[in-house]
C-alpha cells in the first residue's frame, strides 16, 4: 500500500480518542498532531525492562575412556584375526563378544587348530581338529566330527596314529555308544563303548582272522562269549572274567579248512551231564558270594 494512503487511513481512525491524550481538542486529531503528541508522551515516560534471570550452564560430563574402548572392542559379525594375550587368535564370526557361527581358532602354544562351528564361545556343531606333525611340520587331522558344548559329542572319527583310528559315537570327549576301532597291530573291535572303553556287546577280530564275539566290561572280555580259533579250526564257548576264560566247552570248528589245524581232533566228552556241570560253574562265577556259602 502507498505511504500516502496508509497515513490517510490512520488519520481517520484518530477521531473520538482525544480523551486518552491529555490536552487534546474535542475535534478529531490530524495525523501530524497525533505524531507530535505521541512523541512528547514517549519522551516523558520511563520504560523499565524486566530483569533477566540468570541461566546456569553445566559442562557436559565426559564419558570414561574405558567405555569408549569397550564399545570399539565389541565383537559382532565376522572379524578377521582377533588375538588373545597369550598369542592365540581366532578368525570368524562373533555374537556379543563370543565366538558364534563359522570360525577358525589357532592355539599358539600347542599349535592346535580347530575349524568349524561355534556356539556361544564353544565348539558346537561340525568341526575339524588338527595338530602339527613334529616330523614334517604339516598339519594332520586328529578329529573330524560333531561337537557339543566344546566337547566331542555325536558321530566322529579320531586318529590316534597313522594306522590307528576310531569311527563311531562320542559323548563328552569319550568314545560312547556304537563304534569301530582300528588298532595299529591290525586288530579291529566293533561294538559298544562306554567311558572310552569297549563295554557291552562287541566283536574283536584279530589280524590272523581269529575273533571273539560276546560281552565286554571295562575294556575286557567279561561274561558270556565265543572265541573262534579259525587258524586251528576250533571254537571255545564259555564265560570270561577280566579277559580270562574261566569255563566253557571247546569243539572242532572248520578244522579241515584251517590253515594250521591241530594234530588230533578234540575227543568226545564222557561226562554224563556236561551242560549241567557247565551251568553250575557259570552260576558260581556270576555269583561268587553264593559259591562260598
- For 259-289, what is each residue's pLDDT tens digit? 999 888 888 777 677 677 677 777 887 777 6
Q: Which residues pair with 158 in a beta bridge?
A: 143, 166
pLDDT tens column, 157-206: 999 988 899 999 999 999 999 999 999 999 999 999 999 999 999 999 99
By C-alpha distance, which of 104, 110, 118 is closest to 87?
Answer: 110
Q: What is the mean pLDDT of residues 229-235?
A: 94
DSSP string, 4-65: HHHHHHHHHTTTT-GGGSTT--SSPPPHHHHHHHHHHHHHT----PPPPPP---PPPPPPPH
What is the residue whose three cell numbers read 512528547?
A: 40
Residues in Cβ contact with 207 at an 8 Å cutoff, skipping those fewer than 6 apart = 185, 186, 187
Q: Which phi-psi region, left, alpha or beta, contains residue 13 (left: φ > 0; alpha: ψ -120 to 50)?
A: alpha
What is the residue whose three cell numbers read 576310531?
A: 166
Nearest-Å Rg of the Cα atoms of the chain is 50
Report residue 38: phi and psi, to 5°.
-65, -40
pLDDT tens column, 1-41: 554 555 554 444 444 444 454 444 444 556 566 566 656 65
By C-alpha distance, which of 102, 105, 75, 78 is closest to 90?
Answer: 105
pLDDT of residue 122: 96
By C-alpha distance, which of 102, 98, 101, 103 is closest to 75?
Answer: 98
pLDDT of residue 62: 72
Mean pLDDT over all residues of the chain? 82
Q: Report helix, strand or coil for 279.
A: helix
What band does 73 get if pLDDT is binned at 50, 70 and 90?
low
- Between CA 188 and CA 166 the distance in angstroms is 10
Q: Exposed, middle or buried: residue 50 (CB in 10 Å: 0-12, 13-18, 19+)? A: exposed
User: Which carries the bigger pLDDT value, residue 292 or residue 240?
Assistant: 240
Diameter over CA atoms, the chain = 163
Percent of the chain at pLDDT above 70? Answer: 71
Amino acid at each position: 500500500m502507498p505511504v500516502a494512503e496508509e497515513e490517510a487511513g490512520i488519520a481517520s481512525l484518530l477521531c473520538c480518542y482525544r480523551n486518552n491524550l491529555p490536552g487534546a481538542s474535542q475535534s478529531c486529531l490530524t495525523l501530524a498532531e497525533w505524531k507530535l503528541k505521541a512523541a512528547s508522551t514517549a519522551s516523558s515516560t520511563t520504560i523499565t525492562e524486566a530483569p533477566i534471570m540468570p541461566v546456569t550452564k553445566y559442562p557436559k560430563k565426559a564419558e570414561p575412556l574405558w567405555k569408549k574402548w569397550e564399545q570399539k572392542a565389541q565383537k559382532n559379525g565376522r572379524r578377521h584375526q582377533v588375538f588373545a594375550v597369550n598369542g592365540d587368535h581366532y578368525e570368524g564370526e562373533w555374537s556379543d563378544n563370543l565366538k558364534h557361527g563359522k570360525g577358525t581358532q589357532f592355539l599358539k602354544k600347542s599349535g592346535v587348530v580347530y575349524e568349524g562351528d561355534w556356539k556361544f564361545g564353544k565348539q558346537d556343531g561340525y568341526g575339524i581338529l588338527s595338530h602339527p606333525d613334529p616330523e614334517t611340520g604339516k598339519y594332520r587331522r586328529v578329529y573330524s566330527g560333531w561337537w557339543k558344548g566344546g566337547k566331542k559329542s555325536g558321530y566322529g572319527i579320531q586318529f590316534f596314529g597313522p594306522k590307528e583310528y576310531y569311527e563311531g559315537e562320542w559323548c563328552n570327549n569319550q568314545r560312547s555308544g556304537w563304534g569301530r576301532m582300528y588298532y595299529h597291530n591290525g586288530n579291529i573291535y566293533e561294538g559298544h563303548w562306554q567311558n572310552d572303553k569297549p563295554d557291552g556287546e562287541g566283536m574283536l577280530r584279530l589280524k590272523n582272522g581269529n575273533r571273539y564275539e560276546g560281552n565286554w566290561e571295562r575294556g575286557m572280555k567279561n561274561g558270556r562269549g565265543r572265541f573262534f580259533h579259525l587258524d586251528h579250526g576250533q571254537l571255545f564257548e564259555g564265560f570270561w572274567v577280566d579277559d580270562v576264560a574261566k569255563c566253557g566247552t571247546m569243539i572242532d570248528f572248520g578244522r579241515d579248512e584251517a590253515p594250521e589245524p591241530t594234530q588230533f581232533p578234540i575227543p568226545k566228552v564222557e561226562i554224563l551231564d556236561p551242560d549241567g556241570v557247565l551251568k553250575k560253574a557259570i552260576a558260581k562265577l556270576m555269583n561268587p558270594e553264593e559259591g562260598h556259602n
